[in-house]
A and B are shown apart, each in its own frame.
Chain A
Amino acid sequence: MSPDSLTAENRDLRSMADALFTAAIDREATRSGDFDADLWEELHAVGLADLTAPASVGGSDATWRQAALVLDSAARHGIQVPVAEHDLLAGWLLRTIGDPDGSSRTDTFGLSNDGASCVLPWADVAETAVILREQNGEWHYARLRLHSDDAPPAVAFGGVTWSRLSELEAVNWKPVGSPGVADAVIRRGAAVRSIQVAGAMDGMNSLTVEHAMMRRQFGQPLRKFQAVQRLLADVAAHSALAGTAVARLVDALEQDAVTDADVAVAKSCVGRSAEVLVRASHQVHGAIGTTQEHRLHRFSGAIYAWSRDFGGAATWERKLAEHLSGPEAAQDLWRLVTGV
């Protein structure tokens, strides 16, 4: 998102987010890949945790564009916080359904594919989880209280712990009501992941440019070599393309007119461009970028972890192709491109 297109209010919001996430970069928690509980408290304190919740329940009433700014800022700084899961997914679902319990301090969110288990991020640190599942065409959700003494099987991926919750058959499943709600939350999930991946791609682009300018080999900075310039141009191009696809999506979200096709455009462009960008960025960094110590893997790891969540590029491309197979396919395609 280019700064010149932001309102003054949104520029301030972004400055605030940038300052918080910049300060978090060198903290021990970030460096060791742990959850930064202090940062999460700070985000609560300044109103960035319950970002889009209405003021009446203590939220900040933020728009999609504002939420995207915050997610983008965290991602481009290589910082992992559960803003998306807590506020935009679990919180939104509970508010939309009108769940009487309301949000906890830290909610996470997951989709259950088989109805009995669920792989989701942040279950190691969240108080509660909202799980969504479909059975026989009906969507249900469950609110689970997570206990820190339970230790479900888990794996660290992209700076977040992903846990597998199981034996979910017996929990208290409640109907979500209208089926549109479940579709909407999946679109929202795919959207936040696209925003986050594009942000991380921008962060990776910056690191790569910086490295190519500072690192000297054969007596000159890497950026002087044409072969390296080719990589740098590809990184910049694919970062810009992903950013554009996401900006297009955020416009649709902001107008409350988002379709599966809009999400597919972002998921596909972001996913495909990420693959090119991650490879080229690592190539420019050389062996230095392959260590635990270097920040680069925080970005590439996050990109891969987020890219596949709520359906990867291939899933959404198939969905879009289906949308473009009707009797008016050509018109549908051009309408998707031009909006008219």
Chain B
Amino acid sequence: MDQTSRPVTTSEINSLRREVRGFLAAFRREGRFTPTVDCWVRGWDDEFSKELGRRGYLAMTVPTAYGGQGRTHLERFVVTEELLAAGAPVAAHWIADRQVAPSLLAHGTEEQKREYLPRIAAGECYFGIGMSEPDSGSDLASVRTKGVKVDGGYRITGSKVWTSGAHRAEAFFVLTRTTPLGDGGKHEGLSQFIVPLDSPGVEVRPIVSADGLHHFNEVFLDEVFVADSAVLGRIGDGWKQVTSELSFERSGPERFMSTYVLLESLIAEGRVQEHGSRQLGRIASRLAALHTLSFGVAQRLHRGGPADTDAALVKLLGTEFEGDVVAWAADEMDGQAHDPMGFIGQQLRIAQVQRAGFTLRGGTSEVLRGVVTRGLTV
């Protein structure tokens, strides 16, 4: 049996949770990080990522032969959820750990796995993902970035947008069209490449977000040469490869935990007003159910079953909930003398700005409703 699908007991899960929680509480006390809402996008800290690598909290589902932990998706879920609850700075390694490592495992060559996985596990190698383009947002299959076969490799030309961390990452996955749109469907003829961001012909331009920070980038590729060894998976299988990992991306705890820090600080500081207490009950209940729904998808994926619809439901309901927390927090703080530069005031302000992206990133709610509706049968 594959290491990552072995059975895990509840007590193993719970003791891992306590271990991570203890480590995070100590780090927080020592001021080694400051919690933030939306920490998996906003909190970039190389040193913290390396610390997680040293403690065995990265590349958890990667086999030990590649430097990973050989643990299960359920254990990764628990670690991730605790990191998000603490508002820990996890953005640096997030994409590499969540998407790149599983894709490399599923589709990568032996050489690619040896090149990247051990360093991802150590928290030293960060990645971006180049999927969307200026003219291809939700309609991903319409990408126009071209990969043209040349001697010994491919030349890639086009531009990618919303590439998180491209200005600090080592490489990114680029979805390209390698066969022109023809008689085949638009999902055919797409391929993925691993492109180092310091390759000649790559230019990274910042897209500054409304919160004033630089998370996203537009990446231009001008005849960028990559060797045949940089093809990820198989030429022509790009669409299948990209969509096969979507359940992991959509169903994780980051889809309902992005504003947990705000919720937690409101109740920890006793800022819930009497008339708002029923709302707190509603929010706490919804959070508990979303956790169970999301963990249920992780269990399904752990057993190797399909979970596309449920994963879409987690993201649809979870991101709506994240926004509800923000609106509720604003209600609770309404009329209370609070310092907009104090911790809660600051977190509320950031969350209000970031909220717009919650229901967009990783598949808009409208796209997700389409996924759910297509999955309906009598």
Contact = CB atoms under 8 A, between A and B. Distances in A.
Contacts of B17: 338, 340
B193 to A, nearest CB: 34
Contacts of A325: 267, 270, 272, 277
B137 interface: no
Interface in A191-223: 206, 209-210, 213, 223
A326 to B, nearest CB: 10
B285 A320 contact: yes
Given A233-B369, A321-B281, A337-B287, A209 B376 contact: yes
B85 interface: yes
Nearest to B309: A236
A162 B290 CA distance: 34
Contact of A265 (B81, B288, B373, B378): B288
A184 interface: no
Contacts of A232: 372-373, 376
B108 to A, nearest CB: 31
Interface in B93-107: none
B370 interface: yes
A229 B371 CA distance: 10
A153 B278 CA distance: 33
Contacts of A333: 263-264, 267, 284, 287
A238 to B, nearest CB: 8
A244 interface: yes
A272 interface: yes
B310 interface: yes
B373 A223 contact: yes
Contact of B292 (A229, A244, A272, A320): A244
Contact of B281 (A213, A264, A266): A264
A4 B289 contact: no
B278 A241 contact: no
Contacts of B29: none
A250 to B, nearest CB: 11
A137 interface: no
Interface stretch (A60-68, A90-98, A113-121, A311-319): A311-319
B378 A336 contact: no
B293 A240 contact: yes
Given A314-B278, A334-B85, A339-B14, A269 B317 contact: no
A330 B291 contact: no
Contacts of B370: 229, 233
Interface in B29-58: none
A230 interface: yes
A320 B21 CA distance: 24
A105 interface: no
B369 A318 contact: no
A268 interface: yes
Main DSSP-derived SS at the A contact region: helix
A125 B373 CA distance: 42
B280 A321 contact: yes
Interface in B286-344: 286-293, 296, 305, 309-310, 313, 316-317
A313 B285 CA distance: 10
A318 B278 contact: yes
Contact of A229 (B279, B309, B373): B373
Contacts of B21: 340
A237 interface: yes
Contacts of A174: none
Contacts of A272: 282, 286
Interface string B252-268: 00000000000111011
A329 B285 contact: no
A316 B281 contact: yes
A322 interface: yes
A334 B270 CA distance: 16
Given A213-B378, A325-B272, A339-B14, A317 B285 contact: yes
B180 to A, nearest CB: 30
A338 B281 contact: no
A49 interface: no
A245 B378 contact: no
B6 interface: no
B288 A336 contact: yes
B18 interface: yes
22 contacts: A209-B377, A223-B376, A232-B372, A233-B372, A236-B372, A236-B376, A237-B372, A240-B293, A240-B313, A244-B289, A245-B285, A245-B289, A265-B288, A266-B285, A313-B282, A317-B278, A318-B281, A319-B281, A321-B279, A325-B277, A337-B287, A337-B291
Given A229-B373, A244-B296, A340-B14, 9 more contacts: A237-B316, A247-B296, A265-B284, A269-B285, A321-B272, A333-B284, A337-B287, A340-B17, A340-B18
10 closest A-B pairs (Cβ-Cβ)? Answer: A317-B281, A268-B285, A321-B277, A233-B369, A320-B281, A330-B268, A245-B289, A321-B281, A229-B373, A321-B280
Interface of A: 4, 206, 209-210, 213, 223, 229-230, 232-234, 236-237, 240-241, 244-245, 247-248, 264-269, 272, 313-314, 316-322, 324-325, 329-330, 333-334, 336-340
